[in-house]
């Protein structure tokens, strides 16, 4: 691809960080997201603070509410090599 320049990674984002960032970008509080998903607010807090694993099923439910692909939540630091892309 001509003129393509790979973005520089400036910070590491954890799974919990990705959930929090996307939630905040969507304008949801933890309480509102809990209402939308049926996941208790305390569990959402624990996920965002990396005390509880997100898991595939929760990722699907959260992704639907946050209108993103589950992989965005589960693999925030995933890097694809140019040869594989």
Give yes or no for residue 81 having a pLDDT over 60.
yes
From 22, 28, 26, 25, select the one nearest 72 (Cα to Cα). 22
pTM of the shown model = 0.78
* Count of positions (residues) in the chain: 85
3-state secondary structure of 2: coil
What token pair was written down for 84? Answer: 């594989």
User: Which CATH fold would you assign to the domain 15-74?
Assistant: 434 Repressor (Amino-terminal Domain) (1.10.260)
**Cβ distance 65 to 37 under 8 Å?**
yes
Q: Which residue has the higher pLDDT, 85 or 11?
A: 11
Domain residue ranges in the chain? 15-74
Encode pLDDT of 7-33 as tens digits. 676 678 899 999 999 999 999 999 999
In sign, the C-alpha dihedral spanning 59, 64, 69, 72 is negative
Q: What percentage of the chain exceeds 90 in pLDDT?
A: 67
**Cβ distance 72 to 22 under 8 Å?**
yes
Give yes or no for residue 4 having a pLDDT over 90.
no
- CA 49 vs. chain centroid, Å, equals 12
Residue whose pair of structure tokens reads 């694809």 in the numeric block: 80
């Amino acid at each position: 691809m001509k003129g393509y320049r790979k973005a520089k990674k400036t910070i590491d984002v954890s799974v919990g960080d990705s959930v929090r960032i996307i939630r905040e970008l969507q304008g949801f509080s933890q309480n509102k997201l809990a209402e939308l998903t049926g996941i208790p607010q305390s569990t959402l807090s624990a996920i965002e603070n990396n005390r509880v694993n997100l898991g595939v099923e929760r990722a699907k439910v959260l992704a639907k509410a946050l209108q993103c692909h589950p992989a965005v939540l589960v693999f925030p630091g995933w890097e694809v090599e140019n040869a594989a892309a």
